[in-house]
Amino acid sequence: MTAGDSQDGARKGADDEPAWLAIGRELRAIAQIGLTFTRDPYDRQRFERVRELSAALIAQGSGHAATALLEEFRRDCGYATPKVDVRAAAFRDEGVLLVREVSDGAWTLPGGWADVNETPAQSAVREVAEESGYQARVLKLAAVYDYRRRNRGHHLDSIYKLFFICELTGGAPRASIETSAAAFFPRHALPPLSLGRTTPAQIERMFEHALDPALSTDFD
Of the listed ranges 15-19, 52-56, 79-83, the one predicted with least confidence: 15-19
Cα separations in angstroms, 138 against 84, 165, 184, 201, 207: 17, 6, 18, 21, 15
- CA torsion sign for 19, 72, 176, 83 is positive
Buried/exposed 116-147: b ≥16 CB within 10 Å, e otherwise: eeeebbebbbbbbbebbbbebebbbbbbebbb
The whole-angstrom separation of Cα 97 and Cα 174 is 12
Is 50:26 a contact under the CB 8 Å cutoff?
no
- CA torsion sign for 75, 88, 122, 180 is positive
The whole-angstrom separation of Cα 84 and Cα 128 is 16
For residue 147, report the phi and psi dihedrals to the nearest 5 degrees. Answer: -55, -50
132-176 residue pLDDT tens: 999 999 999 999 999 888 766 666 778 999 999 999 999 999 999
Helix (H, G, I), strand (E, B) or coil at 174: coil
Q: Which of 103, 200, 201, 122 is nearest to 164 (CA)?
A: 122
Give the mean model confidence (pLDDT) for residues 38-42.
93
77-129 residue pLDDT tens: 898 889 999 999 999 999 999 999 999 999 999 999 999 889 999 999 999 99
The whole-angstrom separation of Cα 51 and Cα 175 is 40
Q: Domains of the chain: which residue ranges? A: 3-75, 83-219
Instruction: List all residues 6 or more positions away from 205 whose beta carbon is below 8 Å from its beta carbon.
Output: 1, 6, 142, 143, 163, 218
CATH architecture of structural domain 83-219: Alpha-Beta Complex (3.90)
Q: Which of 212, 85, 197, 199 is nearest to 139 (CA)?
A: 212
Give the mean model confidence (pLDDT) for residues 165-194.
96
| 136 bridge partner residues | 168
The whole-angstrom separation of Cα 158 and Cα 32 is 14
